[in-house]
A and B are shown apart, each in its own frame.
Chain A
Amino acid sequence: MELRERALKVDSPFLEMVNQRSRQLIQLCYHCHKCTAGCPVAFAMDYGPDRVLRMIQFGWKEQVLNSSDIWICASCETCGTRCPNEIDIARVMDALRQIAVEEGLPTKERNVPLFHNLFLSIVKRLGRMHEASLMGLYFPLSRDLFSDLSIIPKGVKMILKGKIPLLPHRIKGSDEVEKIFERSG
Chain B
Amino acid sequence: MRKVGVFVCHCGRNIAGTVDVERVTEALRSYPGVAYSIDYLYMCSDPGQDLIKEAIAKRDLDGVVVAACSPAMHEITFRRTVAAAGLNPYLCEVANIREQCSWVHRDDMERATLKAIQIIGTIVEKVHHDEPLVPLAVPIARRALIIGGGIAGLQAASDIAAAGYAVILVEREERLGGRMAQLSGTYLNFDSTADLLSEKVEVVTRNPHITVLTRAQVEAVGGYLGDFKVKVRQQGNDKEYEVGAIVVATGYDLYPKERLSEYGGERYPDVIDGLEFERMLSPTGPTAGEVRCPSDGRVPQEVVFVQCAGSRDPERGVSYCSKICCMYTAKQAMMYKMQVPQGQAYIFYIDIRALGKGYEEFTQRAMEEHRVLYLRGKVSKVFPQDGKMMVWGADTLSGKRVEVAADLVVLATPMVPNADAFGLAQKLRVATDEYGFFSEAHPKLRPVESLTAGVYLAGACQAPKDIPEAVTQGGAAAAKVLSLFSQEKITHDPIVAAVDSELCAGCGICVEVCPYEAREIHPLTKVAVVKEVLCQGCGACLVACPNKASHLRNFAPAQIMAMIEALEGG
Q: Which residues of A contact B (CB under 8 A)?
A: 30-38, 42-43, 48, 50-51, 78, 82-86
Task: Tell which of B314, B378, B379, B392 touches A86, judged by Cβ atoms closer than 8 Å.
Answer: B314
Cβ-closest chain B residue relative to A88: B315
CA–CA, A78 and B261, complex, Å:
13
Instruction: Flag if A38 contacts B312 (CB, 8 Å).
Output: no
Q: Which of A33, A83, A85 contacts B394 (CB 8 A)?
A: A33
Given A43-B401, A82-B380, A84-B312; 14 other pairs, CB 8 A cutoff: A32-B377, A32-B396, A33-B378, A33-B395, A36-B394, A37-B379, A37-B381, A38-B380, A38-B381, A48-B399, A51-B399, A84-B308, A84-B316, A85-B313
Contact B399 A37 (CB under 8 A): no
Indicate which residue in A34, A51, A85, A86 contacts B380 across the interface (CB closer than 8 Å): A34
For the complex, what is the distance from the CA of A85 to the CA of B308, rounded to whole Å?
12
For A34, the chain B residues whose CB sits under 8 A away are 377-380, 394
CB-based nearest B residue for A33: B394
Whether, in the assembled complex, B361 has its beta carbon less than 8 Å from a beta carbon of chain A, the answer is: no
Residue-wise, chain B 138-168 has the 8 Å CB interface mask toward A (1 for contact) of: 0000000000000000000000000000000
A34 to B394, CA, bound (A): 7
Report chain A residues within 8 Å CB of B459. none
- B106-135 contact mask (Cβ, 8 Å, vs A): 1 or 0: 000000000000000000000000000000
CB of A172 to closest CB in B, whole Å:
44
Output the least CB separation between B266 and chain A (Å). 18
Inter-chain contacts of B378 with A (CB < 8 A): 32-34, 37, 84
Q: How far is the CA of A78 from the CA of B394 in the complex (A)?
A: 15
CA distance A48 to B398 in the complex (A): 13
Given the complex, which residues of A lie within 8 Å of B381, measured CB to CB?
37-38, 82
C-alpha spacing A35/B394, complex, angstroms: 9
Within the assembled complex, what's the spacing in Å between the Cα atoms of A62 and B401? 25
Given A42-B401, A82-B380, A84-B378 in contact, is the A33-B396 Cβ separation under 8 Å? yes
Asked if A33 and B313 sit within 8 Å, CB to CB, the answer is no
Using an 8 Å CB-CB cutoff, how does the interface string of B22-48 with A read, 1 for contact, 0 for none?
A: 000000000000000000000000000
* Contact A33 to B377, CB < 8 A, known contacts A42-B401, A51-B399, A84-B317: yes
Once bound together, how far apart are the Cα atoms of A32 and B402, in whole Å?
13
Which residues of chain B (224-280) have a CB below 8 Å from chain A?
Answer: 262
Contacts of B312 in A (CB 8 A): 30, 84
B350 contacts A32, C-beta separation under 8 Å: yes
In order of increasing CB-CB distance, the 5 nearest A-B pairs are: A38-B380, A33-B394, A32-B378, A84-B313, A34-B378
Q: Which listed residue, A31, A38, A43, A84, touches B315 by the CB 8 Å rule?
A: A84
How many Å lie between the Cα of A51 and that of B400 in the bound state? 12
* Chain A residue at smallest Cβ distance from B316: A84
Bound-state CA distance A50–B396 (Å) is 9
Q: Which of B371-391 contact A (CB under 8 A)?
A: 377-381
Are B315 and A83 neighbours in the complex by a CB distance under 8 Å?
Answer: yes
Return chain B residues, CB-CB under 8 Å to A51: 399
Tell whether, in the assembled complex, residue B314 and residue A37 are in contact, meaning their CB atoms are under 8 Å apart.
Answer: no
Please give the distance in Å from B384's CB to the nearest CB on chain A.
Answer: 17
A37, A43, A51 pick with most chain B CB within 10 angstroms: A37
**Chain B residue contacts of A37, Cβ below 8 A:** 377-381, 392-394, 401-402
Q: Could you tell me the distance in whole angstroms from the C-beta of A67 to the nearest C-beta in chain B?
A: 14
Pick 14 A–B contacts, CB within 8 A, sort by A: A31-B396, A32-B308, A32-B396, A33-B378, A34-B377, A34-B378, A34-B379, A36-B394, A37-B381, A37-B401, A38-B381, A50-B396, A51-B399, A84-B313
